[in-house]
A and B are shown apart, each in its own frame.
Chain A
Amino acid sequence: MVGRLTARLWTLRRMSLAIALALDPSSGKQGTVDLATEAALVKDMGTFYEREIVDAARVLVAVEPTLDATDTFERYLAECIVSAPVSTIRGGTTQVLRTLIARRLLGSLK
């Protein structure tokens, strides 16, 4: 589980970095790639990853997460579970992002 989650995080970081580099005005890359779509793609995968991490932490450690727990792990876990639904909504819902990505993949459908 740790290996697979590490692999996914490593990939997401690499993809985000590539976009950040392309956004840098000195890179000369603006306009050559559709950065909005690339960013939508990474955001879509990143938010699902966020949820995966929380669930992995939950199943690895058998605790009942509580928001006012004194134990930091229990409290952080509780906060993550409560805020998890928002991750796939803020900054563009998954469905809107995927519509943008599909438009780029499929081009004009007329």
Chain B
Amino acid sequence: MTTTTDVRALLCDAATRLFSDHVTQKMLDAAKRDGWSAALWHELEQAELPLVGVPENAGGAGGTLSDTAAVLRIAARQAAPVPLAETILAGWLLSSAGLQVPRGPLTVGPVLDETLTTVKDGAGWRVSGALKRVPFARIAKQLVVLADSPSGLMVMAVDATHCNITPARNLASEPRDEVVLQNVVVLAAAPAGAGVTRDSLQARGTLMRAVQIGGALEHALDLACEYAKQRVQFGRKIAQFQAIQQELARCGGEVAAAVAATLSAAGVVERLAGNAGADAAHQSLLAVAAAKIRAADAARETVAIAHQVHGAIGVTDEYALHHVTLRALSWREEFGNEVYWSMKLGREMLTAGAGSFWPALSTA
């Protein structure tokens, strides 16, 4: 127990150093135009961070989902403009299907409810379909998709340059591209691994985004506190006004709840992975939905307070705040927003009935 915690502490130290050494305001501004930072990605690959959660036999570092979540939280704090969460998701799809995880930035699809069709091509496959809002598609070396085949759900990797990509972006100018696949040659294919479905891809995606929201909000809170200690109004630092203190305290509560819910959910999903029972599925859904709902609620409150404390400077291009706030607000919608997950969780809890409500909440 202590060993994994110690190893994670070392990992977090290394990740914190890497991101704070390399992510600059200039890099973030350039990424709004270029979609990402190739230089930062290079540093990440040197440190093997994209492979943190990939099993050793698939070419990874063999870390846990909690390790992965810890690194993603730190990356999101600095608004790291790289497809780290996407590469991690793609690595999960590939490695659980028994496939090797290639180097380089990867992404996944479908992230919405589209379907892809496949045809056999000699010993291999070809895949077709149109996908929207694919994160970092124009950056990714490979696109890893879940596709239907006559023999069931398959994980397939294609060369992203063989797809027709139309750039689109989210509020923070992160690439969320439209991808058209026309009979694209599949580089690697295998039946989806145990527990890998369209639903579990969405659940893991939303968990990643929730963890990232937690990290981004931590930075928004830090910036708001720093600014309140510098800005002078009516002859005093604004941090000395109780009205500001009360709002910052509320903001602190929201951020703590988002971080606690999301890291805790990663722990629950990690513990239940490989457990195919209905009870495990119920517990996982509860954890993932709770994480996304709580993180999205916290994003709304935290972003509002952080901007309010900053006044007009907070919305200027030159100031760092919008890089994290716009990401947090965009990530709320991705892989299902809080309303989607609330409906899903509400239905699940009502179907299970009042008698099983508290047991479900208090077991995992």
Contact = CB atoms under 8 A, between A and B. Distances in A.
Given A95-B246, A106-B225, A1 B260 contact: no
B249 A7 contact: no
A52 B21 CA distance: 43
B338 A10 contact: no
A11 B345 CA distance: 14
Given A14-B261, A105-B249, A106-B225, A8 B239 contact: no
A24 to B, nearest CB: 15
Nearest to A102: B245
A68 to B, nearest CB: 25
Interface of B is mostly: helix
A53 B338 CA distance: 18
Given A11-B261, A45-B253, A105 B248 contact: yes
Interface string B109-129: 000000000000000000000
A11 B229 contact: no
B361 A11 contact: no
Interface of B: 221, 225, 228-229, 237, 239-240, 242, 245-246, 248-250, 252-253, 256-257, 260-261, 264, 286-287, 289-291, 293-294, 297, 338, 341-347, 349-350, 357, 361-362
Given A3-B343, A6-B286, A106-B245, 6 more contacts: A3-B342, A3-B344, A12-B257, A15-B260, A101-B249, A102-B245
Shortest 5 CB-CB distances between A and B: which pairs? A3-B342, A3-B346, A98-B249, A102-B245, A7-B293
16 contacts: A3-B346, A3-B349, A7-B261, A7-B294, A7-B341, A10-B286, A10-B294, A13-B362, A14-B260, A18-B264, A38-B256, A41-B249, A99-B246, A100-B249, A102-B249, A105-B249
